[in-house]
């Protein structure tokens, strides 16, 4: 394999505590790194860099790991900008608008869904996202969820089955039958096409008992577990995620002291989605409580058509610093290594030796500019799997 030396890096964030300053950020100044076609093969001070097949001077720019967006809903049709306008006028979000997206998505062709989802992926990639998770959840039929997962699999290997997003209108009078469908026939058809299963466990969605039934069945099918929890109000979603040893519980907007303690004492990642509260006008999650308690925190965009049409991880990071009292370094770690933890990945979100060669070059001398400057500071995105926005979409 050919190797490339990148030097002239004013500040390199590796998220590897064995590198550089010994902090969680694994930070070096006046740094260099060497990549082959797939991975990082050397990291250290520029003056100690060994020879490589080619070399490039970055001219005093900062380098960070590629962002890991561990919570997106990219496969959908239609739009709900009118709901956003209504919310600005004072109407609270109650989850009911998902039904509109279900109707539009069911009416779209597979080709239309793929083109739209790939476009959103490209926007995220240009903004530095090099690994992302994509959920189903906007068709809510066996055949529809299968095709949504097939579309998602053209964009990423981190595919999540979310048949338990809401109870569709045709099952409004028999939700037990829909839970049985999701935990039975739908999971059987969808599990071979997914790595993860998720449930929206909250007011107006699925109860704790319903979520437990579905997630237990998903585990029996070999899927990893995720959960939407405690977004719309206090509840037992976080407790259930910890009980089931889910990889991540997402939103975490309304947390009790017991919830915080449970997360801090577990391996379950608290994935915070600042775009959702910004769009819906609700209170932001308390990142400070979680971090001070020792919980692992991730940041994600939650890109979806109703409550967080966000295709910029840098905006999510800025919101986390501004609205959730995270430091710039805490937010950066959460958007990279934290997202990787939420996906149970050790090869992304970091730039240590052996990590995937996914990185972002900033038009700035320090990573703090991601929060310091409210705007685009990304100069270039480099990935091991091709140019930014590359996917498995057929030509």
CATH of the domain at 18: 2.30.40.10
How much is the pTM? 0.95
**pLDDT for residue 234 is more than 50:** yes
Nearest one of 162, 121, 140, 145 to 386, comparing CA atoms: 121
Q: Are residues 49 and 82 part of one domain? A: no
Residue pLDDT, tens place only, 27-44: 999 999 999 999 999 999
313 in a structural domain: yes
391 in a structural domain: no
Residue pLDDT, tens place only, 84-112: 888 788 876 555 688 899 999 999 999 99
Any residues with CB less than 8 A from the CB of 188 and at least 6 apart, and which? 221
Strand, helix or coil for residue 111: helix
**pLDDT for residue 258 is more than 80:** yes
pLDDT at 109: 97
Residue pLDDT, tens place only, 342-353: 999 999 999 999
Residue 250's φ and ψ, nearest 5 degrees, are -115, 145
**For residue 282, what pLDDT band results from cuts at 50, 70 and 90?**
confident
Domain coverage including residue 245: 67-342
How far is residue 386's CA from residue 390's CA, in Å, rounded to a whole number? 6
CATH of the domain at 106: 3.20.20.140
Residue pLDDT, tens place only, 312-346: 999 999 999 999 999 999 999 999 999 999 999 99
Q: Are residues 154 and 224 part of one domain? A: yes
Q: Are residues 217 and 122 part of one domain? A: yes
Q: What is the DSSP secondary-structure string of 264-299?
A: HTSS-EEEE-HHHHHHHT-PPP-HHHHHHHT--EEE
Residue pLDDT, tens place only, 140-169: 999 999 999 999 999 999 999 999 999 999
Q: Are residues 359 and 267 part of one domain? A: no
How far is residue 5's CA from residue 369's CA, in Å, rounded to a whole number? 24
Q: Are residues 95 and 242 part of one domain? A: yes
- Total number of domains in the chain: 2
pLDDT at 394: 39
Q: Are residues 60 and 80 part of one domain? A: no
165 in a structural domain: yes
The angle at the Cα of 209, spanning 273 to 179, to the nearest 5 degrees, equals 90
389 in a structural domain: no
Residue pLDDT, tens place only, 352-394: 999 999 999 999 999 999 999 988 899 999 998 765 544 444 3
From 327, 342, 357, the end of a domain falls on: 342
Q: What is the average pLDDT score of the chain?
A: 94
**For residue 83, what pLDDT band results from cuts at 50, 70 and 90?**
confident
395 in a structural domain: no
Q: Are residues 365 and 338 part of one domain? A: no
Average pLDDT of 170-175? 96
Q: Are residues 111 and 56 part of one domain? A: no
Q: Are residues 293 and 267 part of one domain? A: yes
Q: Which runs of E-coded beta strand occur in the chain?
A: 4-13, 27-35, 40-45, 54-65, 67-69, 129-135, 158-164, 196-201, 224-229, 248-251, 269-272, 297-299, 359-362, 378-382
262 in a structural domain: yes
282 in a structural domain: yes
Q: Are residues 174 and 300 part of one domain? A: yes
Q: Are residues 356 and 321 part of one domain? A: no
Q: Are 156 and 89 in contact (CB under 8 A)?
A: no
Residues pairing with 7 in the sheet: 57
Q: Are residues 360 and 265 part of one domain? A: no
């Amino acid at each position: 394999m050919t190797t490339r030396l990148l030097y002239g890096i004013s500040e390199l964030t590796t998220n590897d505590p064995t590198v550089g300053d010994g902090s969680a950020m694994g930070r070096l100044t006046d740094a260099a790194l060497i990549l082959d076609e797939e991975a990082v093969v050397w990291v250290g001070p520029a003056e100690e860099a060994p020879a490589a097949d080619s070399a490039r001077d970055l001219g005093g720019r900062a380098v960070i790991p590629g962002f890991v967006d561990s919570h997106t809903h990219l496969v959908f049709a239609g739009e709900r900008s009118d709901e956003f306008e209504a919310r600005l006028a004072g109407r609270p979000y109650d989850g009911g608008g998902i039904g509109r997206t279900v109707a539009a998505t069911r009416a779209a062709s597979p080709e239309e869904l793929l083109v739209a989802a790939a476009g959103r992926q490209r926007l995220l990639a240009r903004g530095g996202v090099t690994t992302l998770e994509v959920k189903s959840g906007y068709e809510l039929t066996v055949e529809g969820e299968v095709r949504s997962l097939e579309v998602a699999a053209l964009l990423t290997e981190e595919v999540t089955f979310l048949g338990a997003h809401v109870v569709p209108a045709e099952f409004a009078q028999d939700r037990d039958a829909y839970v049985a469908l999701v935990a039975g026939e739908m999971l059987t058809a969808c599990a071979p096409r997914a790595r993860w299963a998720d449930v929206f466990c909250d007011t107006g969605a699925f109860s704790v008992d319903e979520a437990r039934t579905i997630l237990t069945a998903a585990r029996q099918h070999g899927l990893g577990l995720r959960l939407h929890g405690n977004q719309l109000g206090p509840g037992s979603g976080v407790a259930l995620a910890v009980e089931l040893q889910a990889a991540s519980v997402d939103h975490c907007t309304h947390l009790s002291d017991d919830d915080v303690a449970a997360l801090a004492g577990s391996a379950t990642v608290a994935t915070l989605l600042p775009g959702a509260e910004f769009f819906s006008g609700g209170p932001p999650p308390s990142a400070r409580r979680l971090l001070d308690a020792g919980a692992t925190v991730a940041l994600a965009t939650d890109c979806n058509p109703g409550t967080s049409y966000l295709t910029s991880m840098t905006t999510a990071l800025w919101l986390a610093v501004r609205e959730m009292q995270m430091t710039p370094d805490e937010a950066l770690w959460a958007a990279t290594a934290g997202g990787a933890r939420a996906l149970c990945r050790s090869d992304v979100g970091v730039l240590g030796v052996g990590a995937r060669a996914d990185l972002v070059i900033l038009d700035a001398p320090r990573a703090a500019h991601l929060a310091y400057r409210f705007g685009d500071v990304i100069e270039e995105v480099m990935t091991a799997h091709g140019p930014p926005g590359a996917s498995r979409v057929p030509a």
